[in-house]
Every structure is written in C-alpha cells, then in structure tokens.
Amino acid sequence: MPNPTRQEIIDAHNALDGLEYTAQNTAKDEAEERFIEARKALILKALPPKPQPTMAEVEWDDDEHYLAEAEHPGWGKVIMLGMTPDSKVVRTFTKKDGAFHFPSVPPKSLTPTGKRYTPHGGK
C-alpha cells in the first residue's frame, strides 16, 4: 500500500475539490449534483485527512502567532514566541519532564492548534 507524502495528500484534496467544482458547474439537475456529492464522499473516505498547514506555509504575524500553541513532533505542544528574522526557526517554549525548555525549531515542524495564550497580570 502506498504511503503518500504530506504534499501528495494536500495535492489530492485540492484536485478533488477542483474536480467537484467543475462537475457541479456542469451538472444538469439536482439528482446529478447529489450523485457528484456522493462520489466525492466515497473518495474522501479513502483519502487520508487533509493536513493542517504548518508555520512554513503561514506568514508570521505577532498578533496571531505570539503565544499561540503549536504541535511539534518531538516536543509535543509548544508555545510559539517568535520567528527569527531570516524565518529559519521559530523560538518556542514548553515544559517537559518538569523542566522548562526553549527549543528553536524549523517552521515546517510546527502545526498551529488554534489555541492562544494571553498574559494576565496578577496582583
């Protein structure tokens, strides 16, 4: 059984979306539209899920990414602190095995989770 790469999976999903768009625009009636939707659903069941974008595919925005959570394959969940000016690594923060770590990792290894932390001042 083939083991498609991340990019091949993304390309397959994009191709399927394009085919569905073309087919729906040429459908003659509602029955044909439902047939197209049913066939797409069958194909989606066989495809691996579309991977989430990594930080390599997203332009860094301090307002959006500073203190945002991301998943890293080795470190697990990390908090992103900033990207270097050359965009080669993202500085992160995590706590693992009771110790604090500040790994700098390649953007392609980080998948944002959508969760964001906000600092709050305690008195």
Domain ranges in the chain are 6-46, 55-116
Question: What is the SS3 assignment for 2?
Answer: coil
The token duo for 8 is: 């091949």
Task: Please give the CATH number for the structural domain made up of 55-116.
Answer: 2.30.30
pLDDT tens digits, residue range 53-110? Answer: 899 988 899 999 999 999 999 999 999 999 998 889 999 999 988 999 999 999 999 9
pTM summary value: 0.68
- Residues, the chain: 123
CB 108, CB 54: distance < 8 Å = yes
> DSSP class of residue 98?
T
Question: Which residues, at least 6 apart from 43, have a Cβ–Cβ distance to it below 8 Å?
Answer: 16
d(CA 119, CA 121): 7
